[in-house]
Structure 1
Amino acid sequence: MKNKITYCFLLLVFVSFQMYSQENNCETILKDSEQLYEEGLLETVPIQLIKCLPGLTNESKIAAYSLLVHTYLYEDNRPEAKFYMKKLLTLKPEYQPTPLDKKEFIDLLNEYNNDPRLTLSAFVGSNLSSIEVLNVFGVHDINNEQFMPNYTQRIALDFGAAADVNLFHNAYLSGEFEYTQLSFDYNSELYDFSKLRFTESQDHIMARVNLVYFLGATMNRLRPSFKVGGSCGWLINSDSEFQREYLDLSQGIVSGSEENVGNTKNALNYWANFSGG
């Protein structure tokens, strides 16, 4: 039994050594092939290099595929050049040209759309509501600025998911589904003896469809983009709570119970989107 274990251990060591030797040998062949390419011995490069591709690391394979594409382009063998360009982009879709890449190589690379075909994402964040009053109604003096509505922002939550489908190079059709909270305070001083504050919280289900176009190379970390589309929102809940504060402090703050005011709002809202960044 001990002999079998020793034999298996030695066999494992031998196989590991063989694999290590083969990998080192292939790395040497890659360097030799690069030298042959520089010396103009193009016909020798594929003969030596192709048989060693399985023994290379991924990083070395990228260098080997690039070398083969350059070689075949110089030999005017576009079918083989395209074959190894596909191999290169399959292994590294985000490949970016280097200063050493020739114009013919870059032109061939640009023939391929290596944008992600489908991008799925999730997001969570916060928002602040900005209220704009279009018309004021009431029995008070609506022309007196003292009685104009005063809204203050409150932080609320939103989260959702998005899917971006590639239409063509740098262009995506983006769909988003989002749950959004909106929250704000309405402060009123209609009376000289008290202040009223209404706190309203709304819950919306939002859907967006946008066309997004990016500028610059696909895998750049920072790329300008433009977005245009439309959104639709459904109000599923709206609650309001009020507090009365007496200015002379003759009484404590009076709070009312929470009340659903959704029937006073537009349930369905829609708007156009346009943004850049």
Structure 2
Amino acid sequence: MLPFNAATLRTGENRLPCPQCDRGPKDKALSVRVEDDGRMVWTCHRCGWSGAAGRETQPAAPARPPSKAATKHRAGLAPWADREWATAQPIHGAALAYLKARACCIPPEGSHLRYNPSLHHPSGYTGPGLVALVTDARTGQPISLHRTWVRADGEKAPLEAPRLLAAGHRKAGGVIRLWPRQSGQPLGIAEGIETALSLAHADVAAWAAIDAGNLAALPVLPGVPELLIAVDADPAGEAAAAECSSRWLAAGRRVRLVRPDAGDNDLNDTAQKYAGHE
């Protein structure tokens, strides 16, 4: 049995959520190529899981499970990720232009969002990119690195996977602290970096949860009296916001849900519209 619905795939390259990484419905790390004769080959660009299937009249070849090296979560950052973060620069150049073109609020000094003008992609591409430190929401300890290859016009680089997390690192329970926050201040949380930087226009310290699963599981944090949740306008986003909100309200905290305008996918779409960037 194939690990995805082959009937929905077109001939050529398809990008799907990887069932091994299981990063949620928005993930597109799994590349599935369908040939004219119906043969399929798939590879995850994150964990390395791969497999193949013959013609429809033939049984599917068994999928190769990800290696232990690919699935084991290391403690802290790998040496290469530690160097990448240490050498990343404050936001300027193409990264600054990208964020401005996306109508994002530019994070201050001390943000866990930086810039590399020559960020290497596994495909061989090298270009400007955002480098974000992922830390444990509870402890603040570094657990991963998030990278986004960008263009100065506000578009992501023309890559199959322009956003990548560090392979072999833990994502669950992680956040990107885009704004330093003092105890007693409200906190804003969103799935993506650009959406969180749109929520920051509300004069709130904003963090990115990376995806709907992490937002849904955001723990109730000490010293945060109020949580603002930027809700993505899709079933996963609505469900994540509802789960997170319920837990924080049950703990006696104030919660506000911030939704995009009707017809917009997320708060960044709305921010761009009002900034005249569409």
With the length of structure 2 as denominator, give the TM-score of the two structures. Answer: 0.21
**Structure (1/2) with the larger strand percentage:** 1
With the length of structure 1 as denominator, give the TM-score of the two structures. Answer: 0.21
Q: Which has the higher contact order (CA 8 A, sep 6+)?
A: 2
**Structure (1/2) with the larger helix percentage:** 1
Q: Which has the larger radius of gyration?
A: 1
